[in-house]
Amino acid sequence: MSRTHTGTGSRPPSDPPHPQDERRELDLYDLIEMIWSQRGMIIAVFLVLFVSGAAASFLLLNKTYEARARLLVLLDDEDLTPGAAGSGDGFIIEQVLQSESEILNSETVRRLALENIGPATILPEGGSEALALRTMRHNFSVVRAPNASVLIPVLKAGSAERAETILNAIVDAYVEYRQVVLTGDGATGVADRRAQSDEAYRVALDALDRFLTDNDITDYESDTAALLTRIAALQTSLATAQSERQASSAAASAIAQRVAEMPENIDLYVESSAENLLIEKRLERESLLSRYLEAAPPVVALDREIAELEEFMARGGVQGLGQRRTGVNTVRQGLVQEQLRLESMAAAEGMRARTISTQLASAEREISRLRGLAPQYNRLAQNVAATAAAATSLASQQAEAEARQSLAPGSADAVRIVERAFAPVEGSSLKKLGIAAAFVFAAGVAMLMGLLRGYWSRHVDPAVQRQSMPNHAPTADMTEAIGPMPSRVAGVPVLARIPDRGYTLARR
């Protein structure tokens, strides 16, 4: 866009730009003009590219046939109803379907299928086993039916019969292989692991037996418990013996004090005539009373004699008189015998306490030795317990695996073949799509090359630039086209005027 000043503005008019410094932006008219000017080259490039692409699509893109099968995956063998989407077991059936999809799409299944049908079935024109595996890998896929626990294996091949044969071989290999994975190798693998676990248990048990034999232990836990019980009994017996010895010693000391205070001999009896005479007088008085009254003179005289005799005896007149007999003090003798018995008992209890103390010290040394061996014994016992538990668990697993392996293949299978593959009636071809793509590609490349060549010839080529420089007169052309520019329009100053683009193109 050029700007013409009237002289009434704030800045003076500038010199017109040099032709070499002028560069316009390209618009739609310029692009159409460049395409039209290069129409011959565009048509030639388009025809070459389109014919080549169409020929390649027609010759290389062959018709393919797609075979499908359907497999029903059950969540539980006892419940034959598959889990539906959105139910409580939706997440679990999702995991089951994913696992079965991975097994179905595994390389091992494809290799088993290839071994069953051979590479020639997959590659009729011939090829190696690796090429056949690669072809199967590229043409085989597994899709899942929406809202159902159904797997749909899909295989594409150049022949309908070949697609049916290959897909059925893959399905059969999958059903056979999953039985081997879930039940076949389980018993053998568990049996090997159980044998290793049994050997580990035997080694651990031998190490424990050697430890017990070397340390003179029959059963560590039983021996420890017996020693603890014995120590408790010995401690009780020692306390009893010591208390009995102390009691016997104290009793013997008390009896010894009493014996020391008692005489060895005592008077057995003392006889005197005064006592006999007193007895005779009393008997005589009783005889007189049978004939006389108490006031009779003979009775009164006899009472006087009895009274005088009793007074004489009371004053000790007969002390030391008469016959006396002495002997051993039997009470002291019994106390001495009891003292001897208690002293012997105290001595016996003391000897018993010393014996029990010796036995208790020996038992305590033995329990201290066993407690010092406790860490090593616990480690060996834990090894035995751990290996025994592992062997027991593996024995259970082996029994379960053998039970599963003994079942019929159909009863232990959670996958049912709902529909086997059949030869597809119609095939699909990408020839039309390839030809359409070749057309779009050829048209795009031809237009791009035409635009590039047209832009170069009009705006970049130096020869064209030199030819257009002398005839460049934009100011005169603009003045001639639009006439003189008014200074003001509707009270607003006019700074510049843009000519009609169509008029300029027509003049060119």
- Give per-residue pLDDT as tens, 12-35: 444 444 444 445 566 777 788 888
> Closest Cα to residue 388, out of 203, 221, 191?
203
> Closest Cα to residue 415, out of 180, 142, 184, 174?
174
CA dist 64 → 426, 434, 441 (Å) = 9, 14, 24
Between 174 and 269, name the one with better pLDDT.
Answer: 174
Residue in the structure block whose two tokens are 């077991």: 89
SS3 content of the chain, % helix, strand, coil (to 5): 65, 10, 25
Q: What is the pTM of this model?
A: 0.39
Distance CA 262, CA 332 (A): 6
Per-residue pLDDT band at 129 (split at 50, 70, 90): confident
> Quick one: tokens of 480?
């001639």
Q: Which amino acid is at 401?
A: A
DSSP state of 296: S
Distance CA 66, CA 392 (A): 52
* Core vs surface per residue 169-184: b (16+ CB within 10 A) or e: bbbbbbbbbbbeebbb
* Core vs surface per residue 187-202: b (16+ CB within 10 A) or e: beebbebbeebbebbe
pLDDT at 403 over 80: no
- Tell me what pLDDT residue 492 has: 63
Distance CA 346, CA 250 (A): 9
Per-residue pLDDT band at 453 (split at 50, 70, 90): confident
Q: What angle, 0 to 180 degrees and rounded to 10, lies between the N-to-C axes of helices 330-372 and 374-406?
A: 60
Per cent of the chain over pLDDT 70 is: 72
Q: Which of 42-51, 193-202, 339-348, 400-409 is predicted least confidently?
A: 400-409
pLDDT at 351 over 90: yes
- Contact between 363 and 229 (Cβ < 8 Å): no
Helical segments of 456-494, H only: 462-468, 474-482
> Closest Cα to residue 356, out of 224, 225, 232, 222?
232
Distance CA 49, CA 47 (A): 6
Q: Which amino acid is at 373?
A: L
Between 101 and 491, name the one with better pLDDT.
Answer: 101
Query: Tens of pLDDT along 105-117?
Result: 888 888 888 888 8
- Tell me what pLDDT residue 187 has: 61
DSSP state of 143: E
Q: Which amino acid is at 261?
A: E
Per-residue pLDDT band at 87 (split at 50, 70, 90): very low
- Contact between 158 and 64 (Cβ < 8 Å): yes
Mean pLDDT, rounded, for 273-298: 79
Distance CA 245, CA 215 (A): 38
Mean pLDDT, rounded, for 185-211: 82
Other C-beta atoms closer than 10 Å to the C-beta of 331 total 13
Mean pLDDT, rounded, for 33-53: 86
Average pLDDT, the chain: 76
pLDDT at 494 over 80: no
Q: Which secondary-structure segment (H or E) carries 352? A: helix 330-372
Mean pLDDT, rounded, for 261-269: 71
- Contact between 327 and 266 (Cβ < 8 Å): yes
Residue in the structure block whose two tokens are 């292989």: 177
Q: Which residues contact 318 (CB under 8 A, 6 or more apart)?
A: 272, 274, 275, 312
> Closest Cα to residue 381, out of 257, 504, 211?
211
From the DSSP assignment, how many helices (H) and strands (E) are in the chain?
A: 17, 9
Mean pLDDT, rounded, for 387-397: 86
- Tell me what pLDDT residue 231 has: 92
- Contact between 104 and 174 (Cβ < 8 Å): yes
Mean pLDDT, rounded, for 312-340: 72
Q: Which amino acid is at 160?
A: A
Between 423 and 49, name the one with better pLDDT.
Answer: 49
Phi/psi region, residue 322 (left: phi>0; alpha: psi -120 to 50; beta: rest), is left
Q: Which residues contact 133 (CB under 8 A, 6 or more apart)?
A: 107, 110, 111, 114
> Quick one: tokens of 139?
């043409």
